[in-house]
Every structure is written in structure tokens, then in C-alpha cells.
Amino acid sequence: MGKALIIGCGGVASVAVHKCVQNSEVFEEICIASRTKSKCDALKAKLDGGKTKITTAQVDANNVDELIALMEEVKPDVVMNLALPYQDLTIMDACLATKTNYLDTANYEPEDTAKFEYKWQWDYRERFEKAGITALLGSGFDPGVTGVFSAYALKHHFDEIEYIDILDCNAGDHGYPFATNFNPEINIREVSANGRYWENGEWIETKPMEIKRVYNFPEVGEKDMYLLYHEELESLAVNIPGIKRIRFFMTFSESYLTHLKCLENVGMTSIEPIEFEGKEIIPLQFLKAVLPDPASLGPRTKGKTNIGCIFKGKKDGKEKTYYVYNVCDHEECYKEVGSQAVSYTTGVPAMIGAMLLMTGKWNKPGVYNIEEFDPDPFMEALNKWGLPWKEDRNPELVDSDPIKETELVR
């Protein structure tokens, strides 16, 4: 069918490569490219010998000229950006120069500012449309599958969706006192930022971890979860008509939060440069270097994840609730692809999004978030490629009323 260029070789990219190789009818050839080519070569050695032809390359994803040269050499049908969010725009620039379809799993954020939003990437819409190519933004799980779930719910279950709660539960245990399940630098920036949610046409901002709920997750059990700002809130608030409130919650253990608070208190989560032994370093990047590599957590991690969306709205004039979610087992993921479930739940949707672009099932020049496409082929592919979804038509709700000040966790 075609060829994909995969930029990045961390945990998510490793899963995506495994799934592309499993799907050799679509992915006849893939090129894995990263700043550290030896990582790409090791992954190629592990998976070579099947129907999918695998090549590797070295590339600096911050360098547009290097990216253009690589794309001109490889001539891919789609570029799967599984590198860092800081590198989204340089890769998009190279895709524009070579007229190549683009996909990522996280929106752009500047390296020197802890702020992420779609504005920078949405600004590319007209240029991608004129070039006749598609940029698919946020084809991971959250963002990604949560947007597909929302589009599916609107298409098949509601005339109008008024409330969405996105719930991300990781009940895995890796045995370390403190570690992050994906890139520590990105993870810690995300959870230490102020929370935000959309309600009645405006953004409501909260302090980090200020709002806490307890939820009984199917197949996992009762867990503490905290309101965060997450990028899909921005696009869903625009793309789901009539939405009154949309929130995002993620589970954290008391141990994780205690360690994080200690690190914050001593300045280790800062992104401001400091001088150390005559060199300039960024504390958060140093912390990333001493923490366990998320890619190494696979063989240690036990337990499950549960990620999904609870919807409340109207169908045929009547109130309706609907919950759609996926449960993923860390140990089963490791048996299949050598990675834990957090990487798996991001890498599989990346492959599915690329597949839909390559097969032409999703073909719309411009820059689009995932919920702007027909959800049905993606939902079908989730069941086929390892992320089966489940439905509850009478779910337990997080709460039914807008947040009151008395409910805030101080």
C-alpha cells in the first residue's frame, strides 16, 4: 500500500513500529528516524525479516533542512511525528516543503514556556489545504481516541452533547518510588501546570491538583483523580456543538503527588536555566536524565489502565448518558510489543491514524483534529488492533452539577 516515515524512537514509537509491521498490507515500508540512530537500528534488528521493509536514518527533528532532505530521500506517504511536542512545527514545515501528509500525538508547546495549545498548528490550516496535504493532530489516546469517542457518541448516540468528562486512569505499578509513564519532562510540565476546564463558553482556571474526585473505574476499582488541563479540551470545545462543560481528570497516587511536591519545592521541576559548575542546565531536563526511562518500565509494570469519556446530553428530546472506554493490561502489552500500556495506548492509535490517511479513508486537505473525521473506521480499527472499547449506557457520573467552591481540594 505505501510507506511511512516515523520520527522518534521512544516507547510510543516502538509500539507504533510494532503495529505497522503487524499491518504489513498497509505499511509495506517504514523508515524509523531519530537523533540517536542506534536506537532505530536496534528496533529494526528486533523486527526485521517480515513483510514490511524497515530502514533507519539519523535526523535532528529541530532542523527543517535535515527533515526536508530525509523526506525527499524516503518519499513517504505520511510522516508520523512521534518525537517531542517542541518539534511539531519544524516537522510540519518540512511536510509542507515536501507535500507530505503529517500526523502527531500531542500538540505543540514551546520548549522554554510551559504552555501548550493548538493555536500554532491551527495557523497552518490554509497552507496545508493549498498544498493538498492533510495534517492529523492528536492521534494518540488522549488526545486522540478520546476525540474519536466524542465524534462517535455525537454521531450514533446523541442529538446534542452537553457535558463530557474525560477520565484517564493508570492503575499500573512499576515498583519504583517515583517514575513517569511517558516522557518525564512532558509529564511533569503537564501535571504541575494550572488546571482548566470549559464551562458555559469560557475557561475556568484552577490551581494544580486543586480539584479532586474519587471514581470507581470498571475493571480497576476506586481511584483518586484530579482535574488537569489537557489539549483535547481546546479542540473539543470548538468541534462539539452545544457543549456546556468539558473536563479532564487523571488519576495519581498519594506517593506520586508527594514526590512531585518535594521536587517542586526544591526547584527540580523548573524550566528556568541555572548555572551548575560553569554550565547552564535546566533542572527539569536534569531530573529527566536521572529518572527511570519510561521505555524501561514495561517488564516491571503490572495492572491496568482505563481511559474513556462520559457523555451527558439529549437524544430525541430525552436526557441521556453514555460511557465509552478502553481497559488495557500492562503485562499483556509487554508480552505483545515489549512496552507498558501507556505507550501502547498511544502507539496503536498513531498507527491507526496513519493507516486511515494512507488508505484514503480519511482524506481532507488542511489541518484537522481527529474528531473532525468520520469516527467509524477508527472505532472499528481499535477493536482489530488491540484497543477494544466497551460501553455503559447507565454509567456512574463524576458529578452532575457544576463545580462548587466548597468542593475544591485545598
pLDDT band at 182 (very low <50, low <70, confident <90, very high): low
At residue 114, the pLDDT reads 61
Do 165 and 75 reside in the same domain of the chain? no
Percent of the chain with pLDDT over 90: 77
Alpha-helical (H) ranges within 199-282 are 232-239, 254-265
Report the range of poorest mean pLDDT among 176-180, 243-247, 347-351. 176-180
Whether residue 374 is predicted with pLDDT greater than 50 in this model: the reply is yes
Do 155 and 175 reside in the same domain of the chain? yes
Let me know if residue 406 belongs to a domain.
no
Whether residue 402 is predicted with pLDDT greater than 60 in this model: the reply is no
At residue 269, the pLDDT reads 86
Range 283-306 average pLDDT: 87
Do 184 and 264 reside in the same domain of the chain? yes
- Rounded to 5 degrees, φ, ψ at 182 are -140, 180
At residue 400, the pLDDT reads 55
At residue 409, the pLDDT reads 38
The number of CA neighbours under 13 Å toward the Cβ of 328 is 32
Residue with the three cell numbers 515489549: 338
Do 327 and 362 reside in the same domain of the chain? no
Do 308 and 176 reside in the same domain of the chain? yes
Whether residue 404 is predicted with pLDDT greater than 50 in this model: the reply is no
Report the range of poorest mean pLDDT among 173-177, 182-186, 201-205. 182-186
Give the span between the Cα atoms of 77 and 30, in whole angstroms.
10
Report whether 117 contacts 105 (CB < 8 A).
Answer: no
Of 37, 36, 33, 54, the C-alpha closest to 45 is: 54
Positive or negative, the CA dihedral 182, 185, 186, 191 is: positive
Let me know if residue 39 belongs to a domain.
yes
Give the span between the Cα atoms of 167 and 187, in whole angstroms.
16
- Rounded to 5 degrees, φ, ψ at 305 are -110, 155
The DSSP 8-state label assigned to residue 398 in this structure reads S
Let me know if residue 404 belongs to a domain.
no
Residue with the three cell numbers 501546570: 193
Residues 6 or more apart whose CB falls under 8 angstroms from that of 44 comprise 32, 54, 55, 56
pLDDT band at 300 (very low <50, low <70, confident <90, very high): confident
Do 187 and 58 reside in the same domain of the chain? no
Let me know if residue 409 belongs to a domain.
no
Grid coordinates belonging to 61? 527533528
> Could you report the per-residue pLDDT of 56-66, keeping only the tens digit for each?
999 999 999 99
Alpha-helical (H) ranges within 48-112 are 64-74, 88-98
Give the span between the Cα atoms of 185 and 202, in whole angstroms.
29
Domain boundary among 338, 367, 398: 338
Range 345-357 average pLDDT: 98
Residue with the three cell numbers 493538498: 132
Domain boundary among 338, 370, 393: 338
Tell me the pLDDT of the chain averaged across its residues. 93
Angle at 211 between CA 205 and CA 216, to 5 degrees: 135
Of 9, 85, 33, the C-alpha closest to 294 is: 9
Do 153 and 136 reside in the same domain of the chain? no
Do 278 and 262 reside in the same domain of the chain? yes
At residue 288, the pLDDT reads 87
Residue 16, domain extent: 2-140+340-385
> Could you report the per-residue pLDDT of 3-29, keeping only the tens digit for each?
999 999 999 999 999 999 999 999 999
Do 278 and 214 reside in the same domain of the chain? yes
Whether residue 215 is predicted with pLDDT greater than 60 in this model: the reply is yes
Let me know if residue 89 belongs to a domain.
yes
Do 182 and 104 reside in the same domain of the chain? no
Range 327-332 average pLDDT: 97
pLDDT band at 403 (very low <50, low <70, confident <90, very high): very low
pLDDT band at 187 (very low <50, low <70, confident <90, very high): confident
> Could you report the per-residue pLDDT of 77-119, keeping only the tens digit for each?
999 999 989 999 999 999 999 999 999 999 998 876 667 789 9
Return the higher-pLDDT residue of 7 and 284: 7
Do 346 and 334 reside in the same domain of the chain? no
> Could you report the per-residue pLDDT of 381-396, keeping only the tens digit for each?
999 999 999 999 999 9
Whether residue 407 is predicted with pLDDT greater than 60 in this model: the reply is no
Do 130 and 175 reside in the same domain of the chain? no
Whether residue 139 is predicted with pLDDT greater than 50 in this model: the reply is yes
Let me know if residue 185 belongs to a domain.
yes
Let me know if residue 129 belongs to a domain.
yes
Residue 292 to residues 18, 34, 106, 300: CA-CA distances in angstroms? 23, 20, 22, 11
Let me know if residue 396 belongs to a domain.
no
Total domain count, the chain: 2
At residue 179, the pLDDT reads 80
Whether residue 137 is predicted with pLDDT greater than 90 in this model: the reply is yes
